[in-house]
Structure formats: structure tokens, C-alpha cells
């Protein structure tokens, strides 16, 4: 294992310490429980946007804390979901009176811990809502399973909903927007190499010199299928097809009913992409793939979208939701209406994403 | 016969002991269909519980159980943390300030706890989760109590049913948790969470038998 | 070799095509000769800043083309310096009448090709000047050699001088500022892994599982020394010491005398860092190292600088001057006076670096 | 004896031939103390020169040489591109519109070209560069011409001196170019650029001998 780390138990803590000294203007870090929060939190009257999950996906989530995006991020151990006390304490720290939206990637551990946190926050009189991100088309069947994983769309949702909160949206409107973004976004990822969890010390899976793993998640878990390595154009075409050809997707999500203080099931079905759609295209590095290679991918993606009548109106290209040092990439397409574009273009000032400020 | 506050404390201690003794086994089971951390998670959680226990050992049973639940929730993470945490929180609320439990109380403790897990995790029998150990155990316990079996005998019946439930997870395809991403590849493996549930029930039996 | 590429001869071309479709608002790409240029070039009355060098260092230089930074970038083949016709044509395309500043990394090939380009541009009546960046403290002796390589300071110089040009500095003032930035900046790099030039197909050098290479350049060339891998803190301490303890550095550079149309030698000596200095700290990934690990490095770097009385007033952390997919990092410290800070903070809007716009 | 425009064209063609024939050798020499591309660079450059040559083969010698220089500059890159490019540009300027060269013209051609390389690259004798082939060759040529040796004999003397110069680069420590980063590790290796210079001079001799 070749990493720039010290003692393995300190890896996450020391990286958070580094963030804190590097970006005092944007954010602060609280330890025990661990959470990164906006330097100027709580922002009175603004809905607070909080996300979190296992560490190892940097800059997500901690790097997205700041004006126009997240109010707080709760990092667990590497690839392990955080505990409810982190989200609960973070909510108490950043709630500006307008309530807290938890953006939760759909993994059982994350879901359950965020749900517990929501109950604790609610008991404290904090207005709270949980919205799931489950955009990974590599996971097919969903009716009786844990469903699709939350991947690339998470980054776009944090940016867009963060801007909406900044613009004065109330909690329900933020939740509605976040739900819409999730239903409009679909992703697919692949790996050229595995990654190594520090505590494990060896790669999570082995890949041959001419093999690649298609349909991976973001925790170094094996993917949908293993194939022999081929050209950037062929890989991009295959993954883009998985996204564009993916049919309607139905699942039941659980959201919080504030009035009756109980969880209610919501059945959601989102529509496939169709010719004429406007999209934000997000080409993401899994960590070890340099941006130069992402441009070769983007070139082909743009060509295919054009041929399919899908209009790319914005893009994001780089390492934003990673799996440690894994080489590989993911493509996320997000159907973008005027509301989404307006908040995408709005100023954001975080260590990991910045424009207009 | 009744179950005392001290026996509940002893049960939690015995649970910690067996879970740590089986840390490797649980992690190895999880590596086959999950992310190889269930043993680590349970050991981390119950180590914390052991640290906390002395501070509440003289309080009422509800308090002891709720503290255990809170400790697991804030130290385990993953799926099993909130699930087992909910088990003890809910059972603690159900028992409240009692310092001694009737057989019926003991059944309610386990039943309410397991219901909490189901409510939280929304798993059903056959989804290849810890529920596949809890439900058979509760049915067996209920039946034994209805037959006026003694506490120990009834709990032994529950443990045997849980053990069978664990075996029965092997041929199942997972529909909940991380294992569900594997689809058919999850078939043929024993569920780690069901296994830890069996160990916790076995710890209860051991404790009661000791007296 | 595991890369997201198609045919090897097309690698650079296709990556440039990807950039062009991805960032039409910021830049355009001209092929044969290849150069990336500002979409709104030429900017009348503004000094044009042009840089270039071998490809494989992305986002440098092409990703830094845009408002507040470069007017054009000239990419050679991977790790091979571009040819003079690229810089010459780029100069003609972006000169807004106020002249062109070539920012040149000190490698013989780059230096000679940019000098030829300067002569060609001068012959066309374009005001031109070349300023060298030679900041790599890993190269010791310089008096009779090609001297120090140009590395991390290049990124900072492009940002700062780009902002000065935007603010109306004339060519001589831009050149003076660039020269000062170079003399104020020092860098040191290390590698955890080698990198693979597509045309070569195999790693440029071999490193054992527990080895690292200290004092590398940015072309996958072996470094100053090979050591066994140690902790992030020890590596950071060693590299920071190399920079802070480096003595005065003297070299002779060649600059263009516009009036007499000839090259004149300039002897320059820069001073070591001293307690009380204010610096911009730049922790750079060589490509394969994720930003999370850079934060562990930054944490230690900040601690050391504080102990040495060197005050970090700004920082830049991420992959900005890379060596393909190489894992490793470099540290650059740039002494920052008010003029440098003012232009560092000024708005920049490029695909690779953006703030305030 | 005089050197005709056609012989200059033949020299450039012969240069291309020998450089391509020695592509592997030059690259391998460069891999020891550089970045393993000198043979590739020279081959790329002279392939382009061969493409361009027909379009100017009927022009004056200065024009032919300048076109060669421009072609190398815009196709080679690296250090050798501008250096060899400068050689032909400068020699072309020196020769101007001539269509036939006296021995003295030939000397001036080579001398002005080499001076251009020195001006551009600022290398001195002993820096372990192509200069270590050019300077001895020019000295030998000058001496031979002063001794009224014939053109071919004088050029042969130059080639032999260049060959010796290449050998003499082996024990040197590089002070210019990429090899200089290696410091003492550059000692014991033959300089690739000096080698290509020798090959270019040898090509001239071959051409003159053929007639
Ligand atoms: N929805 C659920 N309901 C009940 N039990 C579940 C559910 N999801 C997962 N589990 C149990 O959790 C166990 C895995 O726990 P653990 O490995 O500690 O968490 P994680 O899967 O987050 O790493 C599984 O073996 C299963 O028994
Ligand atoms: N300053 C210089 N003056 C003269 N010749 C030089 C100089 N620098 C390098 N060379 C010559 O260039 C040769 C290397 O050429 P090449 O490998 O094509 O370029 P690069 O080093 O950029 O890859 C060296 O062997 C040396 O003879
Ligand atoms: Mg697990
Ligand atoms: Mg886990
Ligand atoms: Mg070379
Ligand atoms: Mg080269």
C-alpha cells in the first residue's frame, strides 16, 4: 500500500485537520463527533443542507462545505457510514431556524443512520427532512432490494440544492428540488484499478493488466461485470448507452412526516432520458485517473449525446466523488430544467467547487 | 422465575464476550457477501458498551438497555449499528423502570426490540438478514411460554430456532443490505447479521443457565 | 498500460478536442499547429500571456487558458517540448497590440523552441519577451549546467502574471513581475509510483512496493535519490526542509532585447526563505494521488512553516501540474509581497483554476 | 572542385538515410543519459525534410538550406530541433542565392551553421553535446583546406575529427541539456547529439565521394 499517510487509525482525523488549517475562511471541523461545518454557520433563516457518508470520496462531502453548497458534512471512517450523533450534532450546530435537509446516498448503513439522526433532531425541535440519492443504473432490480446506490448525482444535488437554500427556499421546497434532481440524474461508473482501504492494507479486488470492472460503486466493491480493457471510445459508448437506454425506474423511499413524527413511504418512478432533453454532463475521475483522460471521455460522450438528441448545456469534469486512488471514471447525466440550471449557475465558494465567488 | 437487573447486565457482558470471541467469524462471513466489517463493527460497539455499563449498572433495566442502544448507535455505524441500537432502545422503552422481569416482560423486551429492527430496516422473513434469526426465535419463545415451559427452557427453544434460522439464510438471495447488490451471487452464504443475533440470544441462555 | 485512450498517435489531439467541446466559453483550440487560446482573444491593449510545454501535465497549461490567466497554451507531444511554429502562430493569434510574454519552464528543449518563436514573432513586429521558470531545488549545481527545472512555480506565475496583464500591466512590467515570482518561488517533488508515456507503453522507471523517489521532475525522470517509503509527516518534513534550507541560488538567464533584437544574459540570484516571510503554499498532486492525502501533507507543512516563522497567507491544494497518472506530490512555496497577493486574489476564470468570477 | 546545388540536395537525402538507419542507435544512446527520443526526433524531422525537398530542389542553395532548417524547427521539438534547425537556417542565410559552392563557401556554410548552434545552445567544447563533434570537425576542415587538400580529402579529415570528437564525449560529465541533470551519472556514455552530427558530416563525405 503506497499512500501519504501516518498511523492508520489517524488517517481520517489528520486529513480533516489538514482541511481545517487549509480553509479557515470556508469551514471549521468539529471532532468527536466528527463533522465539517460552514465557518459562518448557523446562517439565520437559511435551510441548512447536510450530507455525509464514509470517507474516501474526497472532495465529497467535506470539500463541498461553504457558501452555496453544504452547511455541514459528516465523514465516517473510510467507506463506513457515519453515526447518527455526527449528523445530529451537526444539525444542532448549523440549523439557522429554517430546518435541516439531509442529503443521503442510498446505502442501508447511511440511510438508517441518517434516519436515526433525523429522529433525534426532530425530538430537539429541529425541522428536518431526509432525501435519498439513488442514481446508479448499474444496479438493476430494485423492487425488493436495497435499490440503487447513490453516486455522482449526489455532487450535483448538493450544489443545486445548496444554491436554492442560499436563495431562500424553505425546507419543503429544498426537499422537493433535491428529490427532483435525484429523479433526473443517472450515473454509471467503471474502474481500471481497484483501491486500497488503509485499514485493509491491500486492494479490495484484483484486476488483471488488461481487465476493467464495469458498473462499480464508490466503495471499491466489485461491479456489474468484468471485461477486457478496450478503447476510451468503446468504454464511453457502452457506459453512455447504459444511462441513456435505462428504462423507467421505480422505488419506494422513506421520508419524514414532521407533523406526525413518523416515516412515510413514497413511491417514486422516474422517466428515461429522451431526445430533446437538456442535461448537465458530469465526467468524474475515481481518483487516480488524470483529468487529461477525462477529456478524451468527454469528447466521445458529447458526440454520442449529440447523436441521440440529448443537449449538454453544462458540464463538470474532474475528480469530485472518488474512491481513494482508484483509476477509472463515472458519467452522470442530469436532466436540467430552468430551475436546476439557475441554481447550478449560482455562485458557490467551497474548497472543492467554486465559481461566481 | 424472574430475570433480575443483574442478569440483564450479565447478559450484555456475556454478549460482548461471545461477539468478540466470534469477531473473525462474523467479519469473514461479511467478506463473502458484504464489506468484511460486521465482526469489527460489533466488537467496536460492544467494547464501548462495556465501558458505559458500569456507569448505569445500578439503574433500572430500561435505563441500562437504552444506554446500551445509544452507545451502539453512536459507535458502530454501518447498517448493524442503528439496527441493534434500535433493538435495545425500543426494548428499554418497553421495559421502562422495572428492576425485575417476568417471563412475559422478557418476551416483550425481545419482541419490541425485534419489531424496532423491522420498522427501521424494513426487512421481511427470507430477505437474508438478522430478521431471519429474530422471528423464528420469537415464535419459539412464544410457543414455549404458552406451553408453560420455564424461562430457561423457553429461551433454549428460542436459541435453537435462531440457530436453525441462521442455517436457513444460506440458500437465500439477499434482498436487503449490501449483500443485495450481489444479486444471485449472495446465494450459498450464511448471513453475518443473523449469526450475530443468534450469538446474542445464546448469550442470554448462558446467563440464565448460570444461575 | 491502463489508460482511457484510443490510438496512441491521437492521444493529445483527442484530449484537446475534448477540452474544446467542454469549454467553448473559455477557450478554443487550433490544430496544426496545436495551440489553445482564449475564446475572446485577442484582447485589445492587453499583454498576452502564453505558455506551453510537453503534454501530460494537465490541467497545466491548456486548462489555465481564460480570463485572468493565459491567453494561449502550446502543448507538445507527451513530455516533448512544442515547436516554435506553435508559439509563433499562437502569438500572432492572441497579440492584442501590447505584446506577448512567453512563460517558459527551464528545459533546454522548451527554452530553445520558445527563443526561436520569440525571434519569429519579433520579426513580425510583435513585442515579445521570454521569462524562465527554474524553481526546482532538487537540482543543486547550476553554474555550468542547464540549471534548475521549471515546476510548481509555473502555475503560480501564470495566475499572478495573468492577473497583472488583465489589470493593464505593460509587457515590461509583466516580465518584471514574472521574473520576481520565479525568484520568490521554490519547489520540491516526490513520486510514489512512476508514470507511463502512452508511446512508451511501460512505466518510465520501476519503483518497489516500499520505495519512493525524492526530487523528481515532472517528466517521469528519476529523481535526486531513491528511499524506502516512510510516513507522510516524515516525507513532508524532509521536502519542506529542502525548500526552506535551500541557500541563495544564482543562474544566468537569457532575455530578449527588443531594441537591439538580440538575446542578452541576465545574472539572477535569489535569496533563501527566512523567518517572517509570507508565502503562498502550493501542495500539488502528481496526478494519481487523491486530494485527501494532500491534506495530510498540508497539515504537516503548515505546522513546519509555523515553527520556522514562515507565514502561509494563501494556499492551493490539488492536481495542477501533473505527470500523467503518477502518484506523488510536490510542494511549492512562493514568497508573497503585496503585489503578488493582489494579483493572486484577483478573479480568474479558466477550466483548471477559477475564483472571483 | 566545387559543390553543386544537386550535391547539397543529395547530401540532405543521404543525411536522412543514415539518420533513419541509425534511429535505434541514437535513441538508445539518449535513453542512457536523456529521454530516449533523439533517434525518433531526428527521424521525424528528416522525414518531413524529405517531403519538403522536392518543392525547393530547383531553388538556390540558400533557399534549400533555409527550408530544411524551418522544416526541422517546426517538426522536431526538443533540444535538437531548434539546434539543427538553426544550423541550416544560418548556413542558408550565409550562402544566400548561390547555386554552386567553392571550398571556402562550404567551410563558411558549416562554420556559420555551427556558430548558430553555439549561439543558440551556449554549449562549449567539453559540455558533452553535438558541439564536441562540430568544433573538431571545423578545425580539421580549416587546416586541410589551408594545406590545399582537395574537397573530398578535407571533408574526410573533418569526418574523422568528428568521429574522434564523439568518442571523446564518453568520459565527459554533461553540462548542457537533459543529461546535465544526471551530474556524474552522465559520465561513461556517448552523447547522442554528437553522434548525429558525425552522421550528418559522414553523409556529406559519402555524397562528395559518389561523384
Ligand atoms: N434492512 C435490514 N434489515 C435488517 N438487517 C439488515 C438490513 N440490512 C442489513 N442488515 C444486517 O446487517 C448485516 C451487516 O451488518 P454490517 O456489516 O455491520 O453493516 P454494513 O453492511 O453497513 O457493513 C447483514 O448481515 C444483515 O443481517
Ligand atoms: N545547449 C546545447 N547545445 C548544443 N547541443 C545540445 C544542447 N543541449 C542538448 N544538446 C544536444 O541535444 C541532444 C539531445 O537531443 P534530443 O534528445 O533530440 O532533445 P531532448 O534532450 O530535448 O530530448 C544531446 O545529446 C546534445 O548533443
Ligand atoms: Mg459490513
Ligand atoms: Mg460496513
Ligand atoms: Mg532526448
Ligand atoms: Mg525529448
Does ligand 1 lie within 6 Å of residue B120's CB atom? no
Per-residue pLDDT of chain B (211 residues; tens, 9 = 90+): 789 999 999 999 999 999 999 999 999 899 888 888 899 899 999 999 999 999 999 999 999 999 999 999 999 988 999 999 999 999 999 999 999 999 999 999 999 999 999 999 999 999 999 999 999 999 999 999 999 999 999 999 999 999 999 999 999 999 999 888 888 888 999 999 999 999 999 999 999 998 7
pLDDT computed for residue A141 by the predictor: 67
Helix (H, G, I), strand (E, B) or coil at C108: helix
- Please answer whether residues C313 and C279 qualify as being in contact, where contact means their C-beta atoms are separated by less than 8 angstroms: yes
- Please answer whether residues C197 and C139 qualify as being in contact, where contact means their C-beta atoms are separated by less than 8 angstroms: no
Structure-block grid coordinates of residue B74: 453512536
Provide, as residue numbers in chain D, all residues whose Cβ is less than 8 Å from the Cβ of C74. none
Per-residue pLDDT band at C143 (split at 50, 70, 90)? low
Among protein residues, the one with the nearest Cα to ligand 2's atom 9 is: D177
H or E stretch covering B131:
helix B131-146
- Distance (angstroms) between ligand 3 centre and the Cα of B148 equals 39
- Distance (angstroms) between ligand 4 centre and the Cα of C317 equals 30
Q: Which of A33, A84, A145 sits opposite B82 (nearest CB)?
A: A84
CB contact under 8 Å between D74 and C85, yes or no, is: yes
Instruction: For cell 446562517, name the residue.
Output: A43
Residue of B25, B16, B92, B21 whose CA lies nearest to B60: B92
d(C-alpha A173, C-alpha C41), whole Å: 43
- Distance (angstroms) between ligand 2 centre and the Cα of D177 equals 5
Q: Chains touching chain A at 3 or more Cβ pairs under 8 angstroms?
A: B, C
d(C-alpha A155, C-alpha A355), whole Å: 15
Q: Is C309 left (phi over 0), alpha (psi -120 to 50) or beta?
A: left
Structure-block grid coordinates of residue D7: 550535391
pLDDT computed for residue D200 by the predictor: 98
The secondary structure of B161-175 as a DSSP string is: HHHHHHHHHTTPPP-
**Positions of C marked catalytic:** 57, 219
pLDDT computed for residue C202 by the predictor: 85
CB contact under 8 Å between C292 and A327, yes or no, is: no
Neighbour count for residue A245 (Cβ, 10 Å): 11
Per-residue pLDDT band at D210 (split at 50, 70, 90)? confident
CB contact under 8 Å between A149 and B181, yes or no, is: yes
Average pLDDT over chain A, rounded to whole? 95
The number of C-alpha atoms within 13 Å of B172 and in the hemisphere containing its C-beta is: 23
d(C-alpha C291, C-alpha A53), whole Å: 17
- Distance (angstroms) between ligand 3 centre and the Cα of A71 equals 29
pLDDT computed for residue B122 by the predictor: 92
Average pLDDT over chain D, rounded to whole? 95
Provide, as residue numbers in chain B, all residues whose Cβ is less than 8 Å from the Cβ of A82. 77
Q: Which of A287, A315, A349 sits opposite C290 (nearest CB)?
A: A287
Does residue D177 belong to the interface with chain C, where contact is any CB pair within 8 Å? yes
Per-residue pLDDT of chain A (357 residues; tens, 9 = 90+): 999 999 999 999 999 999 999 999 999 999 999 999 999 999 999 999 999 999 999 999 999 999 999 999 999 999 999 999 999 999 999 999 999 999 999 999 999 999 999 999 999 999 999 999 999 999 876 666 788 999 999 999 999 999 999 999 999 999 999 999 999 999 999 999 999 989 888 888 889 999 999 998 898 777 778 999 999 999 999 999 999 999 999 999 999 999 999 999 999 999 999 999 999 999 999 999 999 999 999 999 999 999 999 999 999 999 999 999 999 999 999 999 999 999 999 999 999 999 999
Which of the residues A75, A108, A263 would you substitute to probe the B interface, choosing the one with the greatest number of B C-beta atoms within 10 Å?
Answer: A108
Among protein residues, the one with the nearest Cα to ligand 2's atom 5 is: D129
Backbone angles phi, psi at B125, to 5 degrees: -55, 130
pLDDT computed for residue C142 by the predictor: 61
- Please answer whether residues D15 and D45 qualify as being in contact, where contact means their C-beta atoms are separated by less than 8 angstroms: no
Q: What percent of chain C has pLDDT over 90?
A: 90
In terms of C-beta density within 10 A (0-12 exposed, 13-18 middle, 19 or more buried), how is residue C258 classed? middle
In chain C, count of helices (H) and strands (E)?
A: 8, 16
Residue of B58, B59, B60, B87 whose CA lies nearest to B71: B87
As a whole number of angstroms, the longest Cα–Cα distance in chain A is: 56
Residues 6+ apart with CB under 8 A from D156: D205
- Please answer whether residues A188 and A138 qualify as being in contact, where contact means their C-beta atoms are separated by less than 8 angstroms: yes
Structure-block grid coordinates of residue A307: 447523436
Does residue D74 belong to the interface with chain C, where contact is any CB pair within 8 Å? yes
- Please answer whether residues C189 and C136 qualify as being in contact, where contact means their C-beta atoms are separated by less than 8 angstroms: yes
Q: Which of A287, A296, A298 sits opposite C5 (nearest CB)?
A: A296
Residues 6+ apart with CB under 8 A from A355: A347, A348, C349, C354, C355, C357
In terms of C-beta density within 10 A (0-12 exposed, 13-18 middle, 19 or more buried), how is residue A96 classed? middle
Give the dihedral of Cα atoms A207, A209, A210, A216; nearest 10 deg.
Answer: 30
pLDDT computed for residue A219 by the predictor: 86
Beta bridge partners of A255: A264
Residues 6+ apart with CB under 8 A from C234: none
- Distance (angstroms) between ligand 5 centre and the Cα of D107 equals 29
d(C-alpha C160, C-alpha C183), whole Å: 14
Helix (H, G, I), strand (E, B) or coil at A204: coil
pLDDT computed for residue C141 by the predictor: 67
Does ligand 1 lie within 6 Å of residue B191's CB atom? yes
- Please answer whether residues D48 and C83 qualify as being in contact, where contact means their C-beta atoms are separated by less than 8 angstroms: no
**Strand order across the C100-105 sheet:** C27-30, C35-38, C72-78, C48-55, C100-105, C128-133
Backbone angles phi, psi at A234, to 5 degrees: -65, -40
Measured between its terminal Cα atoms, the distance across chain D in Å is 11
Structure-block grid coordinates of residue D22: 541509425
For chain D, the residue count is 211
Least distant ligand from the CA of B119: 1
As a whole number of angstroms, the longest Cα–Cα distance in chain D is: 49
Mutate to test the pocket of ligand 2, among D19, D22, D23, D38 (most ligand atoms within 8 A of CB): D38
* Residue C275, min C-alpha distance to chain D (Å): 31
- Residue range C139-154: mean pLDDT, rounded: 83
d(C-alpha C171, C-alpha A173), whole Å: 52
Which DSSP category does C193 fall into?
S
Beta bridge partners of C75: C53
Q: Say whether pLDDT at C146 is over 90.
A: no
Beta strand pairing status for C128-133 and C100-105? parallel
Beta bridge partners of C315: C281
* Residue A99, min C-alpha distance to chain C (Å): 30
d(C-alpha B87, C-alpha C249), whole Å: 68
Beta strand pairing status for C27-30 and C35-38? antiparallel
Least distant ligand from the CA of B31: 3
**Which region among A329-343, D5-19, D24-38, D42-56 has the lowest average model confidence (pLDDT)?**
D24-38
pLDDT computed for residue A143 by the predictor: 61
In chain D, the residue whose alpha carbon lies closest to the alpha carbon of C33 is D74
Contacts A–C by Cβ distance under 8 A: 168
pLDDT computed for residue A260 by the predictor: 96
Does residue D150 belong to the interface with chain C, where contact is any CB pair within 8 Å? no
- Please answer whether residues C154 and C110 qualify as being in contact, where contact means their C-beta atoms are separated by less than 8 angstroms: no
pLDDT computed for residue C317 by the predictor: 98
Q: Say whether pLDDT at D180 is over 90.
A: no
Give the dihedral of Cα atoms B57, B62, B68, B70; nearest 10 deg.
Answer: -130
Among protein residues, the one with the nearest Cα to ligand 2's atom 15 is: D80
Question: Alpha-carbon torsion A121, A123, A129, A134, what sign?
Answer: positive
Q: Which of D77, D127, D178 sits opposite C113 (nearest CB)?
A: D77
Per-residue three-class SS string for C39-61: CCCCCCCCCEEEEEEEECCCCCC
The number of C-alpha atoms within 13 Å of D24 and in the hemisphere containing its C-beta is: 1
Q: Which of A5, A17, A21 sits opposite C293 (nearest CB)?
A: A5
Q: Say whether pLDDT at C248 is over 80.
A: yes
Around ion ligand 3, residues with a beta carbon closer than 5 Å are B 30, 34-35, 37-38
C261-320 residues touching A, CB cutoff 8 A: 287-299, 302, 315, 317, 319
Around ion ligand 4, residues with a beta carbon closer than 5 Å are B 35, 37, 78
Q: What percent of chain D has pLDDT over 70?
A: 100
Residue of A217, A81, A205, A58 whose CA lies nearest to A137: A217
Tell me: the pLDDT tens digits for C79-103?
Answer: 999 999 999 999 999 999 999 999 9
Does ligand 1 lie within 6 Å of residue B141's CB atom? no
Amino acid at each position: 500500500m503506497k499512500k501519504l499517510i501516518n498511523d492508520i487509525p489517524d488517517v481520517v482525523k489528520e486529513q480533516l485537520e489538514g482541511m481545517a488549517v487549509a480553509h479557515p475562511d470556508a469551514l471549521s471541523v468539529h471532532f468527536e463527533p466528527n463533522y465539517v461545518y460552514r465557518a459562518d454557520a448557523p446562517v439565520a433563516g437559511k435551510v441548512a443542507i447536510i450530507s455525509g457518508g464514509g470517507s474516501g470520496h474526497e472532495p465529497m462531502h467535506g470539500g463541498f462545505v461553504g457558501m452555496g453548497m453544504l452547511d455541514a458534512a459528516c465523514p465516517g471512517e473510510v467507506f463506513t457510514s457515519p453515526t447518527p450523533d455526527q449528523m445530529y450534532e451537526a444539525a444542532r450546530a448549523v440549523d439557522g431556524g429554517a430546518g435541516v435537509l439531509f442529503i443521503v446516498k442510498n446505502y442501508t448503513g447511511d440511510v438508517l443512520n441518517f434516519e436515526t439522526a433525523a429522529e433525534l433532531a426532530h425530538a430537539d425541535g429541529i425541522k428536518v427532512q431526509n432525501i435519498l440519492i439513488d442514481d446508479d443504473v448499474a444496479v438493476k432490480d430494485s423492487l425488493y432490494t436495497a435499490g440503487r446506490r447513490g453516486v455522482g448525482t449526489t455532487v450535483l444535488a448538493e450544489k443545486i440544492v445548496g444554491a436554492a437554500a442560499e436563495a431562500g427556499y424553505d425546507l419543503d421546497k429544498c426537499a422537493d428540488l433535491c428529490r427532483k434532481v435525484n429523479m433526473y440524474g443517472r450515473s454509471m461508473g467503471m474502474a481500471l484499478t481497484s483501491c486500497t482501504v488503509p485499514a485493509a492494507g491491500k486492494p479490495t479486488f484484483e484486476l488483471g493488466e488488461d481487465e476493467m470492472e464495469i458498473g462499480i460503486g464508490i466503495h471499491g466493491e466489485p461491479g456489474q461485470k468484468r471485461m477486457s480493457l478496450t478503447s476510451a471510445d468503446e468504454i464511453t459508448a457502452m457506459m453512455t448507452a447504459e444511462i441513456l437506454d435505462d428504462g423507467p425506474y421505480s422505488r419506494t423511499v422513506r421520508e419524514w412526516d414532521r407533523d406526525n413524527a413518523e416515516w412515510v413511504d413514497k413511491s417514486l418512478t422516474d422517466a428515461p432520458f429522451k431526445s430533446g432533453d437538456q442535461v448537465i454532463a458530469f465526467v468524474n475521475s475515481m481518483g487516480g485517473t488524470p483529468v487529461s483522460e477525462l477529456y478524451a471521455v468527454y469528447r466521445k460522450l458529447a458526440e454520442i449525446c449529440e447523436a441521440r438528441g440529448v443537449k449538454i448545456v453544462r458540464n463538470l469534469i474532474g475528480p469530485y466523488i472518488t474512491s481513494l486512488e482508484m483509476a477509472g471514471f463515472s458519467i452522470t447525466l442530469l436532466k436540467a430544467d430552468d430551475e436546476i440550471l439557475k441554481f447550478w449557475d449560482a455562485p458557490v465558494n467551497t474548497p472543492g467547487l467554486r465559481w461566481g465567488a | 422465575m424472574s430475570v433480575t437487573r443483574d442478569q440483564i447486565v450479565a447478559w450484555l457482558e456475556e454478549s460482548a464476550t461471545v461477539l468478540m470471541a466470534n469477531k473473525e467469524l462474523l467479519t469473514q462471513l461479511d467478506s463473502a457477501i458484504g464489506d468484511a466489517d460486521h465482526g469489527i463493527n460489533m466488537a467496536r460497539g460492544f467494547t464501548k458498551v462495556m465501558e458505559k455499563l458500569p456507569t448505569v449498572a445500578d439503574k433500572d433495566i430500561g435505563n441500562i438497555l437504552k444506554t446500551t442502544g445509544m452507545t451502539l448507535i453512536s459507535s458502530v455505524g454501518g447498517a448493524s449499528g442503528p439496527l441493534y441500537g434500535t433493538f435495545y432502545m425500543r426494548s428499554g422503552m418497553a421495559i421502562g423502570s422495572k428492576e425485575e422481569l417476568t417471563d412475559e416482560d422478557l418476551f416483550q423486551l425481545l419482541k419490541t426490540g425485534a419489531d424496532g429492527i423491522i420498522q427501521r430496516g424494513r426487512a421481511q422473513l427470507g430477505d437474508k438478514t438478522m430478521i431471519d434469526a429474530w422471528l423464528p426465535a420469537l415464535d419459539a419463545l412464544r410457543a414455549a411460554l404458552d406451553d408453560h415451559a420455564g424461562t430457561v427452557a423457553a429461551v433454549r427453544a428460542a436459541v435453537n430456532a435462531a440457530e436453525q434460522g441462521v442455517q436457513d439464510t444460506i440458500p437465500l438471495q439477499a434482498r436487503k443490505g449490501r449483500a443485495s447488490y450481489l444479486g444471485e451471487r449472495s446465494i450459498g452464504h450464511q448471513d453475518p447479521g443473523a449469526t450475530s443475533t443468534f450469538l446474542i440470544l445464546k448469550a442470554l441462555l448462558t446467563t440464565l443457565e448460570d444461575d
